[in-house]
């Protein structure tokens, strides 16, 4: 019988407890934290806006404290033009590199949770070929999303701007405001639909591609065929998962505050010390700031991921238990049939040869 979305919560919790705590292995925990970051399964909200720690206020001519980011003279923008261009190019390259790594690590996370054992090196060797196919799907999704939202937002905004320049009356402004509200509503609905597609891809498309060695188009066709009979149950699954993700974001964000302070605190002291020392913003200091800021963010992400590792195991396990009841290939691996020991062989029956017939009596001698 197919499990409902609610019925799958308890098995997923049990699966998480067995993988992480029976027994507790810090090596596996730390590897799963890294896999969760690279697979995009980090269920923790923002760690707080720590970009500014220094406020300033003026009293007469005296300045209490200098601003954290001093004003940059527009005449000096050209000095940073090359650095800005290099950062933009590097950001685009890193985005696609991370997207490829993320595609492979989705399968590593899937296998790690399914088998309750995490091996990053072996997982990369097994899944990089299938990960390339999922990377193509993610490229299609990113490009089509950018084009769709660009047209959805850009065209109405341009039309509203042109209409505003032609006619400016109170009723006309009310129409523009109504159009903006409608546009925001449509954008939110489309964003929710996009989020649902991403959840379906991560939770159900990945197992199909992994277990049947299909490309993303055939895998989507296979998934739609499985979903067609139980559309309502998949909708309930998406809604329940959305609620649980929000709860996990709140819970693990609270739990991550204290360990995050070990990174945020020293970073804040370095920024304040640099400002107090009179450092000015130039190419060298900006470059150093970017490097050390990036290292601090990476360290912060990893510490937070260590805290949120149970969520990174629970949600893939929850998806597996729901999908395994509807996808036999996954169900056979997640819930293998118990191995029945062979029945003991009966001892061989040794047949005794029949006794030979008695010899006839010997004739009496004739005397």
Q: Radius of gyration (Cα) for the chain, nearest Å?
A: 33
SS3 367: coil
Look at residue 360 in the predicted model and tell me its pLDDT: 62
Q: Is the pLDDT of residue 65 over 60?
A: no
Look at residue 153 in the predicted model and tell me its pLDDT: 86
CB-based contact 160:184 (threshold 8 Å): no
Q: Is the pLDDT of residue 76 over 90?
A: no
Burial class (CB in 10 A: 0-12, 13-18, 19+), 12: buried
What's the CA angle centered on 209, arms 205 and 215, to 5 degrees? Answer: 100
Look at residue 66 in the predicted model and tell me its pLDDT: 42
- Strand segments (E) across the chain: 58-59, 62-63
pLDDT tens across 153-189, in order?
Answer: 888 777 766 665 555 555 566 777 777 888 899 999 9
Q: What does the alpha-carbon distance between residue 72 and residue 281 come to, in Å, rounded to a whole number?
A: 8
pTM above 0.95, yes or no: no
Give 52 or 279, the one with higher predicted confidence.
279
Kindly state the tokens that stand for 112: 């790690």
Q: What does the alpha-carbon distance between residue 241 and residue 202 come to, in Å, rounded to a whole number?
A: 13
Burial class (CB in 10 A: 0-12, 13-18, 19+), 209: buried
Look at residue 159 in the predicted model and tell me its pLDDT: 74
Q: Is the pLDDT of residue 49 over 50?
A: no
């Amino acid at each position: 019988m197919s499990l409902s979305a609610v019925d799958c919560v308890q098995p997923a919790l049990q699966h998480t407890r067995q993988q992480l705590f029976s027994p507790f292995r810090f090596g596996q925990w730390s590897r799963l934290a890294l896999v969760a970051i690279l697979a995009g399964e980090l269920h923790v909200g923002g760690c707080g806006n720590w970009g500014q720690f220094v406020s300033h206020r003026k009293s007469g001519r005296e300045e209490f404290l200098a601003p954290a980011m001093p004003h940059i003279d527009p005449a000096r923008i050209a000095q940073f033009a090359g650095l800005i261009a290099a950062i933009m190019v590097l950001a685009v390259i890193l985005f696609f590199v991370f997207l490829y790594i993320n595609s492979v690590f989705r399968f590593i996370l899937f296998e790690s949770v399914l088998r309750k054992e995490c091996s990053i090196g072996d997982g990369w060797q097994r899944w990089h070929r299938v990960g390339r196919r999922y990377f193509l799907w993610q490229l299609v999704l990113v490009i089509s999303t950018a084009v769709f939202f660009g047209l959805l937002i850009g065209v109405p905004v341009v039309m509203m701007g042109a209409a505003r320049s032609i006619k400016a009356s109170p009723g006309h402004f009310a129409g523009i405001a109504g159009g903006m509200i409608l546009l925001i509503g449509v954008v939110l609905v489309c964003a929710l639909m996009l989020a649902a597609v991403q959840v379906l891809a991560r939770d159900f498309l990945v197992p199909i591609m992994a277990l049947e060695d299909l490309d993303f188009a055939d895998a989507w066709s296979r998934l739609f065929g499985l979903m067609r009979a139980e559309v309502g149950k998949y909708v309930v699954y998406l809604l329940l998962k959305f609620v649980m993700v929000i709860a996990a974001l709140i819970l693990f964000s609270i739990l991550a505050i204290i360990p995050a302070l070990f990174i945020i605190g020293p970073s804040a002291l370095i920024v304040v010390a640099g400002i107090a020392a009179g450092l000015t913003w130039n190419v060298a200091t900006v470059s150093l700031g970017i490097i050390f800021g990036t290292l601090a963010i990476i360290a912060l992400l990893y510490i937070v991921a260590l805290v949120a590792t149970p969520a990174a195991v629970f949600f893939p396990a929850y998806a597996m238990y729901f999908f395994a009841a509807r996808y036999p290939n996954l169900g056979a691996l997640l819930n293998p049939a118990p191995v029945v020991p062979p029945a003991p062989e009966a001892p061989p029956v040794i047949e005794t040869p029949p006794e030979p017939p008695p010899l006839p009596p010997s004739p009496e001698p004739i005397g």
